[in-house]
Amino acid sequence: EAEAEAEEKAYCDEQMTKTEAKKSELEDDVAKMTAKIDQSASKSAQLKEEVKVLQEELAALTKEQAEMDKIRLETHEDYVVAKKDLELGLSGVRKALSVLRDYYGGGESEAAFMQQPAPPVKHSKSGGAGSGIIGILEV
């Protein structure tokens, strides 16, 4: 009977050793998994913070874009108004250049075909002043 008890004790000791080893192995696995979970939770919190910051930046960019679009629209409206005025001014300057060129020497060939009386003797063209005025207008 002592031998049976010794065998049973040996069997129990062997099983306890296996169980302790398995328990130790499982505890190591649990520790590794817990560390992995903690790392993942930390990374998740970090990514959530980054998403929050990026969403704030996107909101700011959207607001700035809306302001820039508004400014662009206002500027375009001002341009359209100014463009009409500038085109009228340019057409006036072109007309003035045409008249001055005709008067100061560019119009003799056209005048030869028209029957006009001779210009008055009292008035004479000033060539130097005409070219100066035309030069200023062409700039």
Quick: pLDDT tens for 36-70. Answer: 999 999 999 999 999 999 999 999 999 999 999 99
Say which amino acid occupies 26.
L
The whole model's pTM is what?
A: 0.46
Quick: pLDDT tens for 124-136. Answer: 555 566 667 777 7
pLDDT at 91: 92
Nearest to 5 by CA among 70, 76, 13: 13
pLDDT at 113 over 90: no
